[in-house]
Amino acid sequence: MYSSKKEKNYLWIFFTMLSIGLGQSLVFTSIPILARENGLTEVQVSLVFSISATAWFITSPLWGRYSDKYGPRIIAIIGCLGYSTNMILIILPIYLFENGVLAGSMLLPLLILSRISYGIFGSATRPALFGYAGKISSPEERANIFSNLESGFVIGTVLGPIIGAFFFRYVNNELPFILFGLLGLIIATQLNIRLRNEKDFKLSHKKPMRLKMHDSKVWPYVFVSSIFSITQAIIFQTLGFFIFDKLNYNVIDAAVYVSISFGIYSTSVVITQTFLNPLFNSIKLMMLVGPILCMSSFIFITFANDIFSLTGALILNGIGYGITRPSYATALSLSHKKIFQSSAAGLLGSTYPIGHMIAPLFISLYVYDFSLVYYLSAFMCFISIAFTFFHPHILKSSAYE
């Protein structure tokens, strides 16, 4: 599949996504615990991530446009440097506070500032690399390539906490952040060498081309992607409560089962994107099958009364998401010319943090009845299915089959 030198660069793109997944999962699983141990509340910790998510939402489309202008190499390097900088800066305030160098009143502001660097600059990586992949791949290969890139990120999210836990246990809290940060620098160096702005990637001094959010070939995909960003965030933010409250495990056992459940969930996504998605001959079919499986999984969760039935529902959910994300990303990509590939990826990338920005509003339903939030998620999936089926462009488009 990857015969030319340019196409072989895809392997470095895959490794970049994997590495970013490593750091992202390490930050999300460890920083809240470390910050709370040093006096911050859950609300303050969530503020750190919500501000970063807002910055990502705003800047991702901008990076996509400038990737189409300056070439993916430059923008991807900026993204990797933003990621690398964040990995080192995010642990620095905690280290300084624990060693008596930093005042407690400065801990939260510095964590926000360090994390916002990732929201602003780290958001450049995905639109640049997915735009590059969209330009080097044929329409027939696009879905498989996007699936593999997504699976690279998911593999990283599985490995990140495992590697981090090893260093936390046997070395110290700072080393995994430093190592992942240095890995980002190595990747930036390799991308600088390998992703040259040649032919389709020549530097342009013209005003950057841009896609409009209200374009009929843009907003439908952004709308559906936003729906699934919210429903996925709901699962991430309520699973621990569900296992503790509904399945009646104690705190220690609940923490163990949450980790195992997320590991199984992520594995189902990777297996789906690596082995199942290539079996589909129709992107349009994937755009219907994925959401149907997700909707079914949310309904099954409400009936789960033990860890095994919950695990089955999560596997089904992982398969559904593993099909849905690449299918809509591919459909959006194939709906536009090569000069708009990074812009399209940037607009779609802006939907990924929406879930973490909006989901807390819906999670309040959990207080009244745990099943309500999952029925709501199932209903949102149903909306996406009906929207996809009846929208005049999505299933009737000739850009993809």
Domains of the chain, residue spans = 1-196, 213-401
pTM: 0.86
- Please state which CATH class domain 213-401 belongs to: mainly alpha
**Higher local confidence (pLDDT), 46 or 55:** 55
User: Nearest 10 degrees: CA dihedral of 113, 114, 116, 117?
Assistant: 120
Give the residue among 55, 41, 125 at the shortest CA–CA distance from 342.
125
Does position 78 have pLDDT exceeding 80, yes or no?
A: yes
Residue 197: pLDDT band with limits 50, 70, 90? low
Distance from chain centroid for Cα 174:
24
Q: Model confidence over 279-327: pLDDT tens digits?
A: 999 999 999 999 999 999 999 999 999 999 999 999 999 999 999 999 9
348 by Cβ neighbours in 10 Å (0-12 / 13-18 / 19+) ranks as buried
Is there a common fold for 1-196 and 213-401? Answer: yes
Residue 21: pLDDT band with limits 50, 70, 90? very high
Does position 204 have pLDDT exceeding 70, yes or no?
A: no
Q: Are 314 and 29 in contact (CB under 8 A)?
A: no
Q: Model confidence over 210-249: pLDDT tens digits?
A: 688 888 899 999 999 999 999 988 887 788 778 877 888 7
Q: Which CATH code, of 3.30.70.250, 2.100.10.30, 3.10.20.30, 1.20.1250.20, is assigned to 1-196?
A: 1.20.1250.20
**Mean of pLDDT values over 37-41:** 82
Residue 370: pLDDT band with limits 50, 70, 90? confident
Element (H, E) at 103: none
User: Nearest 10 degrees: CA dihedral of 13, 17, 18, 21?
Assistant: 170
Does position 198 have pLDDT exceeding 60, yes or no?
A: no
CA dist., res. 8 & res. 171, Å (int): 37
* Whole-number pLDDT of residue 127: 94
Structure tokens at 126: 């995905």
Question: How many other β-carbons are positioned within 10 Å of the β-carbon of residue 108?
Answer: 18
Per DSSP, helices labelled H in 171-271 are: 175-194, 219-245, 251-271
